[in-house]
């Protein structure tokens, strides 16, 4: 099975397979059995990464598997001149069990999957999706808030080009009584495919321009990074400072049980000076990525590694 987009994964699979196994692995269970011994992962990355790449590498190593990889800078142009599909075809014949792909353009993972017998794991494709990030995000919410139904969640920032919020919106759509606030500049509104999905799944959502309007009603604030200067550019035209950032004012309004998430790396939208507030959960979130990716690899391994 390839892991291409978040909407492939059902609520039942998340709650009965992925999350219980991630909890066991986080607690050290199964690790000494080396369930991925003799399994090999190849990472092929066209964009930099700290968390996704290193957590998958660590997951493989901790579970007894091995890893190799190739970083393909997108500049100069000639380095990306070899077709993605050709690289993936070649890797298919080198005995790997998983190919972890980060690609700089939307659709890269699907293109790779079209020529691959080996499972492709989408580690982020341009402004498309980042499904394993959404899995660890949902796991974090479950661990921190204790439930996934009846949540009030704000997705904040560049909602047009940010792949993590696309994937998370798709997964959140599985859960009951969700109230979603989509907080972005007019020029960076949530994509139409995500909006259509939310409409089809009867998710209650509203679009707004200032996080402070809803901060006192939230369980989860999910901040996004501005991959480029797009968000800053939008702000220059249409809003004042503080609409799409975590500030002392936002924290004053936010309920004590709420959490602030961020996929990292961060920019000005989540100042390090506020990190001492226990509601800032971004580093706990990154830590959960290891257990969730360990569990995912075990579930994807050709023979179930977790009997
Ligand atoms: N959250 C995330 O995808 O981080 P990296 O870019 O470091 O992998």
> What are the tens digits of pLDDT across the range 120-137?
999 999 999 999 999 999
Q: What is the DSSP string of 173-195?
A: TTSTT-EEEEE--GGGPPPHHHH
Distance CA 270, CA 304 (A): 40
Q: Are 107 and 86 contacting, i.e. CB atoms less than 8 angstroms apart?
A: no
Q: What pLDDT, on the 0 to 100 scale, is given for residue 67?
A: 98
* Choice between 110 and 226, residue whose per-residue pLDDT is larger: 110
Q: Are 189 and 160 contacting, i.e. CB atoms less than 8 angstroms apart?
A: yes
Q: What pLDDT, on the 0 to 100 scale, is given for residue 27?
A: 94
Residue 305 has pLDDT above 70, yes or no: no
Section 23-50 average pLDDT = 95
Q: What pLDDT, on the 0 to 100 scale, is given for residue 96?
A: 97
Q: Are 124 and 7 contacting, i.e. CB atoms less than 8 angstroms apart?
A: no
Chain centroid to Cα 47, Å, comes to 15
Question: Residue 83: left if φ>0, alpha if ψ -120 to 50, beta else—which one?
Answer: beta
Whole-number Cα distances in Å, 253 to 21, 109, 182, 262: 36, 40, 18, 19
* Ligand 1 mean position, distance from CA 192 (Å): 24
Q: Whose CA is nearest to atom 6 of ligand 1?
A: 49
What percent of the chain shows pLDDT beyond 90? 87
Rg of the chain taking only CA atoms, in angstroms: 19
Question: To which residue do tokens 């200032």 refer?
Answer: 210
Burial of 89 (0-12, 13-18, 19+ CB in 10 A): middle
Residue 196 has pLDDT above 80, yes or no: yes
**C-beta atoms surrounding 184 within 10 Å:** 25
* Choice between 182 and 303, residue whose per-residue pLDDT is larger: 182
Section 140-163 average pLDDT = 97
State whether the Cα torsion 280-283-284-285 is positive or negative. Answer: positive
What atom in ligand 1 is closest to the CA of residue 289? 1
pLDDT tens track for 285-295: 999 999 999 99
* Ligand 1 mean position, distance from CA 131 (Å): 12
Beta-sheet pairing, 259-261 with 98-103: unpaired
**C-beta atoms surrounding 20 within 10 Å:** 12
What atom in ligand 1 is closest to the CA of residue 48? 6
* Ligand 1 mean position, distance from CA 286 (Å): 9
- Take residue 48 and report the two structure tokens written for it: 């930099």
* Ligand 1 mean position, distance from CA 39 (Å): 24
Residue 181 has pLDDT above 70, yes or no: yes
**C-beta atoms surrounding 195 within 10 Å:** 17
Q: What pLDDT, on the 0 to 100 scale, is given for residue 129?
A: 98
Whole-number Cα distances in Å, 6 to 105, 140, 217, 247: 17, 16, 26, 30
Helix ranges, the chain (H): 11-13, 19-26, 51-62, 84-92, 108-113, 131-145, 163-172, 192-200, 230-238, 248-253, 282-300
Provide CB contacts within 8 A for 33, sequence distance 6+: none
Residue 95 has pLDDT above 50, yes or no: yes
Q: What letters, b where the CB count within 10 A reaches 16 and e where it falls short, cover 101-115?
A: bbbbeeebbbbbbee
Residue 179 has pLDDT above 50, yes or no: yes
**pLDDT confidence band for 73 (50 / 70 / 90):** confident
What 8-state DSSP symbol labels residue 18? I
Section 62-80 average pLDDT = 86
Is residue 52 in contact with ligand 1, taking CB distance under 6 Å? yes
**pLDDT confidence band for 75 (50 / 70 / 90):** confident
pLDDT tens track for 217-269: 999 999 997 666 666 666 665 656 679 999 999 999 999 999 999 999 998 89
**pLDDT confidence band for 307 (50 / 70 / 90):** very low
Q: What pLDDT, on the 0 to 100 scale, is given for residue 79?
A: 65
- Of 68, 17, 8, which Cα lies nearest the Cα of 292? 17
Q: Whose CA is nearest to atom 3 of ligand 1?
A: 52
Residue 184 has pLDDT above 70, yes or no: yes
Provide CB contacts within 8 A for 12, sequence distance 6+: none
């Amino acid at each position: 099975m390839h892991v291409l987009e978040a909407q492939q994964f059902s609520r039942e699979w998340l709650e009965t397979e992925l999350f219980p196994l991630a909890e066991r692995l986080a607690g050290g269970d199964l690790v000494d059995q080396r369930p991925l011994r003799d399994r090999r992962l190849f990472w092929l990355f066209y964009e930099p990464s700290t968390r996704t790449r290193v957590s998958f590498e660590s997951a493989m190593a901790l579970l007894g598997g091995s890893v190799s990889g190739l970083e393909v800078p997108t500049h100069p142009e000639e380095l990306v001149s070899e077709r993605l599909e050709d690289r993936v075809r070649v890797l298919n014949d080198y005995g790997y069990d998983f190919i972890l792909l980060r690609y700089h353009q939307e659709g890269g993972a699907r293109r790779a999957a079209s020529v691959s017998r080996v499972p492709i794991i989408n580690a982020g494709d341009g402004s498309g999706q980042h499904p394993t990030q959404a899995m660890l995000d949902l796991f974090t919410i479950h661990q921190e808030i204790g439930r996934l139904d009846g949540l009030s969640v704000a997705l904040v920032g560049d909602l047009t080009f940010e792949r993590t919020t696309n994937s998370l919106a798709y997964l959140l759509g599985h859960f009951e009584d969700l109230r979603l606030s989509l907080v972005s500049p007019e020029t960076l509104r949530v994509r139409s495919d995500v909006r259509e999905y939310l409409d089809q799944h009867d998710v209650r959502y509203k679009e707004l321009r200032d996080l402070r309007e809803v901060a006192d009603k939230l369980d989860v604030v999910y901040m996004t990074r501005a991959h480029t200067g797009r968000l800053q550019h939008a702000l220059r035209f249409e809003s004042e400072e503080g609409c799409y950032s975590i500030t002392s004012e936002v924290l004053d309004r936010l309920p004590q049980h709420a959490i602030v998430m961020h996929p990292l790396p961060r920019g000005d939208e989540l100042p390090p000076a506020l990190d001492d507030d226990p509601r800032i959960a971004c580093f706990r979130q990154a830590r959960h990525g290891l257990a969730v990716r360990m569990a995912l690899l075990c579930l994807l391994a050709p023979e179930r590694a977790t009997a």
